Amino acid sequence: MKIHAKIYPHNDLLNLAFYHKGVIDKKIEDGVQDALALDCMSCLVALAFSVEALINVVGVKKVGGWNERDSFLDKAKNVCTKAGTNFRKCADPYRTIWELKVQRDNMAHGKPFIVKTDAKNRQELFDSLDCKWDLFLVPEYVDHAYTQVKEFEKILFDGAGLSRADVITGAVRLP
């Protein structure tokens, strides 16, 4: 049996982010704080990966000579131009998309950093141990980021003339 399959990872990655967002929302509803920052981290990583996959699916479908190995910013600008918009890092949803990319890189590359401090108390000591992404590991930012990624998806797909049916994973049997 011959099959023609099309696999679009952005769907799975957005579903993963939605799942983690649901876990976060349930914990908030139940007043549970255990590992909430880790849930936020998982959701933000899934969102960052989904942004890359969204850019790539629009690029593959609509940009001639698409090169997946180009820089993130070049690819983002390319697909945004194709969608009739500009990637401006100073305005949402693009600002949040850029923040996700930067924090994803910070986590993915895991470069150690050294902080010298004169902590006067336990809280100052804990504050000096914050990672670059810790400010983003709160449910409010996760909600904002999720909303902005969904807006970015809409802008890209609508602007590039892609329907949901054009970018859904599936297979058809060939004659």
Distance of CA 50 to the CA centre of its chain: 5
Task: State pLDDT tens for residues 121-171.
Answer: 888 877 777 788 889 999 999 999 999 999 999 999 999 999 989 999 999
Mean pLDDT of 61-71: 95
Note whether 165 and 175 are within 8 A (CB): no
pLDDT more than 90, % of the chain: 81
For the cut 80, the answer to whether the pLDDT of residue 3 exceeds it is yes
Answer for the pair 99, 92: CB distance below 8 angstroms, yes or no: no
Cα(128)–Cα(77) distance, integer angstroms: 36
What is the 3-state secondary structure of the chain? Answer: CEEEEECCHHHHHHHHHHHHHHHHHHHHHHCCCCCHHHHHHHHHHHHHHHHHHHHHHHHHHHCCCCCCCCCHHHHHHHHHHHCCCCCCCCCCCHHHHHHHHHHHHHHHHCCCCCCCCCCCCHHHHHHHCCCCCHHHCCHHHHHHHHHHHHHHHHHHHHHHCCCHHHHCCEEEEEC
pLDDT tens profile 10-32: 999 999 999 999 999 999 999 99
Structure tokens at 150: 């969904």
Mean pLDDT of 78-96: 96
- pLDDT surpasses 90 at 116: no
Instruction: Tell me the mean pLDDT in the region 44-52.
Output: 98
- The dihedral region occupied by 63, where left means phi > 0, alpha psi between -120 and 50, and beta the remainder, is beta
Q: For the chain, what is the mean pLDDT?
A: 94
What phi, psi does 174 have (nearest 5°)? -95, 150
